[in-house]
Amino acid sequence: MSYRVSGPVNVLFDEKDIGLLKEGVIIRPRFEWEPIIVDYYGRVPIDFINTGVSAAVECIGVDPSAIATANPWIKDLFAFGNKVGALASAEFSKSLKIQERDGQLWIASNAFLAGMADIPLLATRELAIPLTFIVLPDEDDKLWATLPSYFDSNVGG
């Protein structure tokens, strides 16, 4: 299941404005399950264990200067070096805010940029820069600290 927040929306990453995104964003929750196999030659799991939940926020940016300002890889890539095993939540985690056109807010306090995808260059339209943010549960074990008011208050995030 995914949720489409129709555009235009304004996206802020680490309180830095990525710009107005005309096409909106797509939010894809991810529920991870690991199979439990009990015998040596077993091939069929007897159960599954929940190994976590996260969400991917996909959007198309159109303002290269705004994206460069908000992109942690540009400034951290050379300073960060190759810290194999470093936790993304500890090294790169920032707040992510999505503001809908009617003012409704999605706020995640533990998000990081998954990296830049290939940028297709088409001369017949504006530059489209695919961005994906990964949202992890915060200290309250919620993906979203704030959800739009049209969600039931029991949904939690």
**Would you list the domain boundaries of the chain?**
3-135
Say how far apart CA 61 and CA 69 lie, in whole Å.
12
Instruction: Specify the higher pLDDT residue, 124 or 135.
Output: 135
Note the pLDDT of residue 45.
Answer: 86
Note the pLDDT of residue 117.
Answer: 53
Instruction: Specify the higher pLDDT residue, 69 or 142.
Output: 142
E strand or H helix that includes residue 48? strand 47-61
State the pLDDT confidence band at 85, using cuts at 50, 70 and 90: low
- Interacting residues of 155 by C-beta distance below 8 A, sequence separation 6+: 147
Say how far apart CA 67 and CA 6 lie, in whole Å.
20
- Three-state SS for 54? strand
Q: Which amino acid is at 114?
A: A
Say how far apart CA 58 and CA 20 lie, in whole Å.
14
Phi, psi of 49 (to 5 degrees): -115, 135
Say how far apart CA 130 and CA 54 lie, in whole Å.
19
Arithmetic mean of pLDDT, 130-142: 85
Q: What percent of the chain has pLDDT over 70?
A: 68
Architecture of domain 3-135: Roll (2.30)
